[in-house]
Amino acid sequence: MTTLEITGGQVLEPDMTVEHGDVLVDQDTGEILAVGDVPAGDETLDATDGLVMPGLVNAHTHLAMALLRGYADDKPLDSWLREDVWPIEGVLEPDDVRAGAALGALESIEAGTTALCDMYFDVPAVVDAVEQAGLRARVGHGVVTVGKDRDEASADFEEGLTVAREQAGAADGRVSTAFMPHSLTTVDGAELDEFVPKARNADVPIHIHANETRDEVTPLVDEHGERPLEYAAGHGLLSPTDFIAHGTHLDAAEIELLAETGTGVVHCPASNMKLASGIAPVQELLDADVTVGLGTDGAASNNDLDVFGELRDAAMVGKLAADDASAVDAAAAVEMATAGSADVLGFDSGRLAEGKKADIAVLDLDSAHLTPQHDLVSHLAYAASGADVRHTVCDGDVLMRDREVLTLDAEQVREEAESRATAAVERAR
Ligand SMILES: N[C@@H](CCSC[C@H]1O[C@@H](n2cnc3c(=O)[nH]cnc32)[C@H](O)[C@@H]1O)C(=O)O
Ligand SMILES: [Zn+2]
C-alpha cells in the first residue's frame, strides 16, 4: 500500500465545519484512510496555509464545448443552439472533441474539479481525455431525434445505448456512464418509450436537459396537456438514479414529483443567466429534499468551467429567486458543489471521510481576497475562485501539484485546442 498524507492545513468536514488536521489517502484503492490526527504517509502534499476540501463535482457539462468558448454569445438557448452551436458541432471530428475535452479537463483540474458529468457526441474521444487527465466522470452520448428520419433517430438512440454499455468502467473504473436523451423537446416520445426500458435493462442512469426555458415548456404543455416532468414520468423517466439538468421552470407538482421519485437536479445558474433561461427555484428544491447538484453546463454558455463561480452564482441567484437573503446560504452552496453533485451522479465522493473516494482539492488561503479568515465556508461560497486551488487529487492520484498539472501537458493541450478551434470555425463558414 502506498499512502499520501495531505498535511499542515485545515480540513473541511462533511458537516461544513473546519478543523486543523491532515488527510491520509490509500493511493492503491484511491480511498481516504483517515482524517484529522493521522499516521505519517509515504508521500506528502503540503497544505500549510491551505484548506483541504472535497474536490468540486461538475454535475452537468459538455467538456468539448471549451472549443466554442466565446464563439457565440448573447442569444437565447434555441437560436444559440440552432444558428450557432449545432452548425459548428456538425463539422467537429473526434480529434476535435478529444482536444476540446482535454482543454476542458485541464481547466477543470486547475480549478479543483475532480469529477464531472459529460453529455456529448464522439464519447470515446471524451473518455480518452478524461482517462489521460485522471478525472472521474459519468459520460453519455446526447441523443437528438428532431430533424432526423426514423432510421437515423433509432440509430442515434442505439448509439446512446451502446456508449452507455461499452464505456462503463473505462479509465480503471473512473468512468461510468448514463443514457442521455438530449431534452424532452429534441427527442421523440415514441423513441423514448422504446429505449428507456433498454437503458433500464443496461442498468444505467438516465440524464436529460429538462424544463430549461419557457420556450421549451410552453409548447410541450400545449401539445401534450401536461407539465414536462409529468410527460417525462409518463415515458418512464425519473428514478433515484436519474437526474435532470436545469429544472429552471418547475411548478410545485413537479418539485413534488422530483422528491417522490428521488430524481436529482443539476442546477446550472450561470448558463441559466447567460441564456436568460430563468431562475431555478433552488431553495424550494432543497426544502423539498430533492438532491441538488451544480453544473457549469458547457463553456460556450458560461463561459468557464470553474465550479467555484457556479456555487457563488447559486448562492446569489438563489437569494434573488426566493426574495430572501437567507436562502441558499454559503454552506448549502458548498454542499451542492460537493456532496450534492456527487450524490446526483452516484459517486462515493464529495465528502472528506474515511472510506470515501480520495477526490480532494487544496485551496491556498494565503491571499488578500481570502483574509481575514472569519469563516472559510463563507470564503468558499463568496470569495474564492478556481485560481486559488494549489493541489488537485483524484482517486488518490495527484493531478496538480503547486498549480502544475502533472497528467496533461498544459501548453500542448492549449495549442492544440486553439488550432483545432480555429480550423473548425473556418470549416463551419
Ligand atoms: N447527438 C447530438 C448531440 C447532442 S450532445 C449534447 C448537446 O447539448 C448541447 N447543449 C449545450 N448546452 C445546452 C443547454 O443548456 N441546453 C440544451 N442543449 C445544450 C450541446 O451543444 C450538444 O449539441 C447531435 O448530433 O447533434
Ligand atoms: Zn447542457
Query: Following DSSP, what letter does each residue of 45-62 receive, concatenated?
Result: EE-TTEEEEEPEEEEEE-
User: Is the same domain home to 63 and 205?
Assistant: yes
Q: What is the pLDDT of residue 372?
A: 98
Over residues 38-50, the mean pLDDT reads 98
User: Is the same domain home to 374 and 322?
Assistant: no
Q: Residue 401: give its domain's CATH number.
A: 2.30.40.10
Residue 420 domain-assigned (yes or no): no
Residue 392: which pLDDT band, with cuts at 50, 70 and 90?
very high
Give residue-wise pLDDT tens across range 396-410. 999 999 999 999 999
- Rounded to the nearest integer, the mean pLDDT of the chain is 98
Q: Is the pLDDT at 277 greater than 90, yes or no?
A: yes
Q: What is the pLDDT of residue 215?
A: 96
Nearest atom in ligand 1 to 156's CA: 1
Over residues 230-258, the mean pLDDT reads 98
Residue 89, annotated as binding a ligand: yes
Nearest atom in ligand 1 to 268's CA: 15
User: Is the same domain home to 272 and 320?
Assistant: yes
Q: Is the pLDDT at 429 greater than 90, yes or no?
A: no
Residue 413 domain-assigned (yes or no): no
User: Is the same domain home to 120 and 142?
Assistant: yes
Could you count the other beta carbons within 10 Å of the beta carbon of residue 158?
14
User: Is the same domain home to 179 and 259?
Assistant: yes
Residue 421 domain-assigned (yes or no): no
Is residue 231 within 6 Å of ligand 1 at its C-beta? no
Residue 411 domain-assigned (yes or no): no
Q: In this structure, what is the dihedral angle of CA atoms 110, 113, 116, 118, given to the nearest 10 degrees? A: -20
Pocket test for ligand 1, best of 63, 73, 119, 272 (most atoms within 8 A of CB): 119
Residue 316 domain-assigned (yes or no): yes
User: Is the same domain home to 73 and 110?
Assistant: yes
Is residue 89 within 6 Å of ligand 1 at its C-beta? yes
User: Is the same domain home to 235 and 213?
Assistant: yes
Residue 429 domain-assigned (yes or no): no
Residue 389 domain-assigned (yes or no): yes
Q: Which residue has the cell 465522493?
A: 349
Domain membership of residue 386 as a residue range: 3-55+352-405
Residue 93, annotated as binding a ligand: no
Half-sphere exposure of 110 (CA within 13 A, CB side): 14
Nearest atom in ligand 1 to 212's CA: 16
* Distance from residue 308's CA to the centre of ligand 2 (Å): 18
Q: Report the predicted TM-score, pTM, of the whole model to 2 decimal places.
A: 0.98
Over residues 185-196, the mean pLDDT reads 96
Q: What is the pLDDT of residue 146?
A: 93
Q: What is the pLDDT of residue 302?
A: 98
User: Is the same domain home to 284 and 390?
Assistant: no
Residue 209, annotated as binding a ligand: yes
Is residue 209 within 6 Å of ligand 1 at its C-beta? yes
Q: What is the pLDDT of residue 178?
A: 98
Over residues 325-340, the mean pLDDT reads 98
* Cell numbers placing 159: 448509439
Largest CA distance in the chain: 64
Over residues 192-204, the mean pLDDT reads 97
Q: What is the pLDDT of residue 234?
A: 98
Q: Could you list which residues have their CB under 5 Å from ion ligand 2?
A: 297
Q: What is the pLDDT of residue 134?
A: 99
Is residue 121 within 6 Å of ligand 1 at its C-beta? yes
Over residues 330-352, the mean pLDDT reads 98
* Distance from residue 9's CA to the centre of ligand 2 (Å): 36
* Distance from residue 360's CA to the centre of ligand 1 (Å): 29
Query: How far apart are alpha carbons 28 and 40 in whole angstroms?
Result: 16
Q: Is the pLDDT at 330 greater than 90, yes or no?
A: yes
User: Is the same domain home to 39 and 84?
Assistant: no
User: Is the same domain home to 145 and 249?
Assistant: yes
User: Collapsing DSSP states into helix, strand and coil, what is residue 276?
Assistant: coil
Atom 11 of ligand 1: nearest residue by CA position? 298
Q: How many residues does the chain have?
A: 429
Is residue 69 within 6 Å of ligand 1 at its C-beta? no
Residue 252 domain-assigned (yes or no): yes
Pocket test for ligand 1, best of 60, 63, 139, 144 (most atoms within 8 A of CB): 144
Q: Residue 165: give its domain's CATH number.
A: 3.20.20.140
Residue 43, annotated as binding a ligand: no
* Distance from residue 132's CA to the centre of ligand 1 (Å): 24
Is residue 140 within 6 Å of ligand 1 at its C-beta? no
80-112 burial string, b = 16+ CB within 10 Å, else e? bbeebbeebbeebeeebbbbbbbbbbbbbbbbb
Q: Is the pLDDT at 185 greater than 90, yes or no?
A: yes
The total number of structural domains in the chain stands at 2
Is residue 216 within 6 Å of ligand 1 at its C-beta? no
Is residue 60 within 6 Å of ligand 1 at its C-beta? no
Rounded to two decimals, the ipTM of the complex is 0.96
Pocket test for ligand 1, best of 63, 75, 79, 85 (most atoms within 8 A of CB): 85
User: Is the same domain home to 45 and 89?
Assistant: no
Is residue 301 within 6 Å of ligand 1 at its C-beta? yes
Q: What is the pLDDT of residue 308?
A: 98
User: Is the same domain home to 102 and 38?
Assistant: no
**What are the backbone dihedrals phi and psi of residue 4, each rounded to the nearest 5 degrees, phi first?**
-120, 130
Is residue 119 within 6 Å of ligand 1 at its C-beta? yes
Residue 70: which pLDDT band, with cuts at 50, 70 and 90?
very high
| Nearest-ligand number for the alpha carbon of 160 | 1
Residue 224: which pLDDT band, with cuts at 50, 70 and 90?
very high
